[in-house]
């Protein structure tokens, strides 16, 4: 991967310096992370790892310039502005499913299983797949031709004009929230979910979001990580360079595979996002926004968002909202069985 293509060294370094400064400034103004109030700043040590080129590039590109709307910088290339306009009522849940352009088989599996908008009775669900530009195809004409075909058939693709890479996930989430703000401003809740999961929309809607009750304004739930220590090992996928985040621990955050938040909170996250130092781990970033807003994620008990997989079993799975990871081939296989319902399962 050519990471600094198109960036002058100056631009890259400038970006890095600004990013670093921003981290320092915001850290300065924010005080301690921990509820106990104990200072948890990690002092810079001698062995501060030198940041990778990737970090520099990423910081140079992000955050979005403050004076422009993100959609001016990264336009929606595929869009469905009317998706949330429903004749009677308003959408209860907007599902934003994160896949990459090349993942058509995954999207098909989801469409026929948990992504089916009619799976949860009595509420309106709207499902869209969010993606950026393929980082793999240089001559993207054939892949975009396939996407167009797929979108004509299903009418559910949102494509934004940025490179869909691992390090751009924060941008992807923000663009999803931006879409909600612009085109789905009446939905009660928004779910950010990755494509590699098993989801139980019925349980999510009825037991977690409690469709029959008033929506809770500052609500966010999922699998919640607390007191996590940033990983400083460069080879790790969750590597966090010290110059991007220099505190000893992250504030609480909902893990990336799937979390659901109320629309008012999503709007607050979106608006504060420009003032929070950019980190590329999108779940951590949303956690930083929540911290800045003074909002704590609501635990979902008993544990219903599983992060470390589980063998399929109908009765167990009826008690979970989300199981990660879950292969799309298996999803297709188990879904008919899952839909038989839980009536034969023993009550706890």
Ligand X SMILES: *[C@@H]1O[C@H](CO)[C@@H](O)[C@H](O)[C@H]1NC(C)=O
**Does the protein bind ligand X through residue 105 (CB under 6 A)?**
no
**Does the protein bind ligand X through residue 165 (CB under 6 A)?**
yes
Minimum distance of ligand X from residue 345's CB (angstroms): 4
Stretch that binds ligand X, among 51-59, 90-98, 181-189, 293-301 (CB under 6 A): 51-59
Stretch that binds ligand X, among 37-45, 57-65, 86-94, 262-270 (CB under 6 A): 57-65
Judged by CB under 6 A, the number of residues near ligand X is 20
Instruction: Please pick, from the candidates 296, 318, 330, 335, the single residue that binds ligand X as defined by CB under 6 A.
Output: 318
Stretch that binds ligand X, among 33-41, 145-153, 162-170, 246-254 (CB under 6 A): 162-170
Of 172 and 291, CB closest to ligand X? 172
**Does the protein bind ligand X through residue 187 (CB under 6 A)?**
no
Instruction: Please pick, from the candidates 31, 35, 112, 146, the single residue that binds ligand X as defined by CB under 6 A.
Output: 112
Binding to ligand X, residues 229-288 (CB under 6 A)? none
Task: Tell me how far apart the alpha carbons of residues 126 and 4 are, in angstroms, rounded to a whole number.
Answer: 38
Instruction: Please pick, from the candidates 163, 229, 231, 303, the single residue that binds ligand X as defined by CB under 6 A.
Output: 163
**Does the protein bind ligand X through residue 57 (CB under 6 A)?**
yes
Instruction: Please pick, from the candidates 80, 172, 202, 263, the single residue that binds ligand X as defined by CB under 6 A.
Output: 202
Residues 197 and 312: beta-carbon distance below 8 Å: no
Stretch that binds ligand X, among 31-39, 95-103, 259-267, 340-348 (CB under 6 A): 340-348
**Does the protein bind ligand X through residue 345 (CB under 6 A)?**
yes
Of 194 and 292, CB closest to ligand X? 194
Look up residue 100 and give its two tokens: 């990459």
Residues 208 and 300: beta-carbon distance below 8 Å: yes
Instruction: Please pick, from the candidates 27, 49, 167, 314, the single residue that binds ligand X as defined by CB under 6 A.
Output: 167
Of 204 and 286, CB closest to ligand X? 204
Of 56 and 326, CB closest to ligand X? 56
- Cβ neighbourhood burial of 217 (10 Å; 0-12, 13-18, 19+): exposed
Of 21 and 163, CB closest to ligand X? 163
Look up residue 310 and give its two tokens: 């589980």
Of 292 and 304, CB closest to ligand X? 304
What is the SS3 assignment for the chain?
A: CCCCCCCCHHHHHHHHHHHHHHHHHHHHHHCCCCCCCCCCECCCCCCCCCCCHHHHHHHHHCCCCCCCCHHHHCCEEECCCCCCCCCCCCCCEEEEEECCCCCHHHHHHHHHCCCCCCCCCCCCEEEEEEEEECCCCCCCHHHHHHHHHHHHHHCCEEEEEEECCHHHHHHHHHHHHHHHHHHCCCCCEEEEEECCCEECHHHHHHHHCCCCCCCCCCCEEEEEECCCCCECCCCCCCECCCCCCCECCCCCEEEEEEEEEEHHHHHHHHHHHHHCCCCCCHHHHHHHHHHHHCCCCCCCCCCCEECCCCCCCHHHHCCCCEECCCCHHHHHHHHHHHHCCCCCCCCC
**Does the protein bind ligand X through residue 203 (CB under 6 A)?**
yes
Instruction: Please pick, from the candidates 33, 58, 114, 219, the single residue that binds ligand X as defined by CB under 6 A.
Output: 58
**Does the protein bind ligand X through residue 305 (CB under 6 A)?**
no
**Does the protein bind ligand X through residue 61 (CB under 6 A)?**
yes
Task: Tell me how far apart the alpha carbons of residues 330 and 127 are, in angstroms, rounded to a whole number.
Answer: 21
**Does the protein bind ligand X through residue 292 (CB under 6 A)?**
no
Report the interface residues with ligand X, using CB under 6 A.
54, 57-58, 61, 111-112, 116, 118, 162-163, 165, 167-168, 202-203, 318, 342-343, 345, 347
């Amino acid at each position: 991967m050519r990471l600094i293509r198109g960036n002058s060294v100056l631009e890259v370094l400038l970006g890095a310096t600004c990013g670093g400064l921003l981290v320092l400034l915001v850290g300065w103004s924010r005080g301690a992370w921990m509820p106990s109030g104990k200072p948890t700043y990690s002092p810079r040590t001698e062995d501060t790892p030198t940041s990778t080129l990737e970090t520099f590039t990423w910081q140079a590109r992000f955050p979005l310039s403050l004076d422009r709307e993100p959609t001016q910088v990264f336009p929606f290339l595929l869009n469905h502005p009317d998706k949330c306009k429903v004749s009677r009522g308003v959408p209860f849940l907007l599902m934003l499913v994160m896949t990459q352009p090349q993942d058509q088989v995954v999207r098909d599996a989801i469409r026929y299983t948990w992504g089916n908008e009619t799976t949860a009775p009595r509420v309106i669900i709207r499902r869209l797949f969010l993606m950026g530009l393929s980082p793999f195809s240089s001559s993207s004409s054939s892949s975009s031709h396939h996407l167009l075909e797929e979108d004509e058939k299903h009418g559910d693709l949102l494509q934004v004009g940025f490179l869909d890479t691992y390090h751009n996930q924060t941008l992807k989430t923000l663009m999803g929230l931006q879409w909600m703000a612009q085109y789905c401003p009446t939905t009660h809740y928004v779910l950010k979910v990755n494509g590699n999961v098993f989801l139980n929309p019925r349980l999510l809607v009825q037991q977690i979001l409690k469709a029959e009750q008033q929506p809770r304004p500052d609500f966010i739930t999922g699998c919640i990580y607390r007191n996590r220590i940033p990983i400083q090992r460069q080879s790790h996928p969750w590597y966090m360079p010290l110059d991007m985040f220099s505190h000893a621990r992250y504030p609480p955050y909902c893990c990336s595979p799937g979390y659901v938040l109320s629309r008012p909170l999503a709007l607050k996250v979106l608006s504060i996002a420009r003032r929070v130092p950019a980190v590329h781990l999108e779940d951590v970033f949303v956690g930083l926004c929540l911290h800045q807003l003074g909002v704590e994620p609501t635990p979902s008990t008993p544990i219903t968002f599983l992060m470390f997989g589980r063998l399929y079993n109908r009765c167990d799975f009826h008690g979970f909202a989300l199981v990660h990871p879950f292969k799309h081939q298996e999803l297709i296989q188990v879904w008919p069985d899952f839909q038989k319902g839980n009536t034969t399962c023993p009550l706890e």
